[in-house]
Amino acid sequence: MKIIKTISRLALGAALTGAGISHLGSARETFRAQVPNWLPLDADFVVVASGVVEIILGFWLISGFKAPIAGTVTALFFIAIFPGNISQWVTQTDAFGLNTDESRFIRLLFQPLLVIWALLSTGAIAWLKSLRLKKTKR
């Protein structure tokens, strides 16, 4: 089971690193379409900043250093960027081949899976439970 978790963590780290790099280059313009209009920040800044964060999280996951914390932070990141996916669906913005309401809606269903992937592949759930148990024993 440990090898599956390790491979899963490495794959998520590689995917995040790749996505982050594409934020800075080839897909930068496309990612701008996912930045909600109501966000009071420059769309290009948001894309570049989120790309840098994805690269950092990707390398952190790959390194295995304090993996449960890395998984928790990654899960929180996936939750934080979820409004961009919702905005893309609500505003009917075409990007990444998501050019129908149905495809954009289906994309929404994958975000919780990314959160779960980050938590399970890093042992974050067990770590968070242990923190809770320590807190209740005090």
Q: What are the sequence ranges of the domains in the chain?
A: 2-137
138 pLDDT higher than 70: no
45 pLDDT higher than 70: yes
Alpha-carbon span 42 to 40, nearest angstrom: 7
pTM for this structure? Answer: 0.91
Intra-chain end-to-end CA distance of the chain, in Å: 32
**Residue-level pLDDT at 24:** 95
Alpha-carbon span 35 to 83, nearest angstrom: 9
79 pLDDT higher than 80: yes
Span 1-16, average pLDDT: 96
- Shortest CA distance to 53 belongs to which of 93, 80, 85, 84? 80
